[in-house]
Amino acid sequence: MGAGLAAKPKDMKTLQKRLAGPVFATCAALAPAAVQAHPHIFVDTGLAVQIGAGGALEAVEVTWAYDEFYSLLIFEDLGLDPDADGVLTDDELARLKGFDLKWSAGYAGDTYLTRNEAPLALTAPEHLSTEVVDGRITTRHRRGLKAPVPAEAVVIRAYDPTYYTAYTVNQGVSVGAGCRAEITEPDLDRAYTLVEELLYAMPADQAEAAYPEVGEAFADTVRLICGD
């Protein structure tokens, strides 16, 4: 395994460079197309946890700040920013609103909450804001809890199971009064090893169509701690 892969990158660009390093080069020999395609989108992520009376977790607001290249692809796909200055008009922003909330059936929204390892059901996303700064799209949406639960020991992870999109919780985590958030970074050595093992276990001609679901292994873990 390549030197330096055990430490978590401080930003998405560093992660992109490391994903092109020794471990993924090894995997590429087994399944070139699959490895090159994962991850492809990089998202800086923020969370705002809403806690109600009695310490019940009621909702979480999710911020997604997309990388510059993916933002450019969205502009091109929607026919926005024709002068390529990275600044959108009010009309263009209106057209961009909610572009990332048109979810297909069964899509979980890449935000997963659990308590005592049991999954918590969330409501459909509610758009809060969309803005473009320095050519990057940043959006916010709200997900409510279908059944509020005590916030204590709730775990939040942001990840794409297929690891096509890489999320990093580096835009802050705000928590309601009486609780705090403890963030644990992923063990990248372990995550890369998992990728290698799973790719070795499948025929190379099947890897692209059935890329192993390793996204959770690369996810930051946000744990809510309430009280003293």
Domain ranges of the chain: 41-226
pLDDT per residue rounded down to tens, the chain (228 residues)? 222 222 333 344 444 443 433 333 333 333 343 444 468 999 999 999 999 988 999 999 999 999 999 999 999 999 999 988 888 999 999 999 999 999 999 999 999 999 999 999 999 999 999 999 999 999 999 999 999 999 999 999 999 998 999 999 999 999 987 899 999 999 999 998 888 888 777 776 665 666 678 899 999 999 999 986
List, in sequence order, every residue forming a beta bridge with 132; answer none if it has no partner: 137
Residue type (1 letter), 145: L
pTM attached to this predicted model: 0.80
Q: Check if the beta carbon of residue 163 is closer than 8 Å to that of residue 218.
A: yes
The pLDDT score that the predictor gives to residue 86 is 82
The pLDDT score that the predictor gives to residue 213 is 84
Find the helix packing angle between 22-30 and 188-200, rounded to 10°.
Answer: 10
Q: Which residues contact 85 (CB under 8 A, 6 or more apart)?
A: none
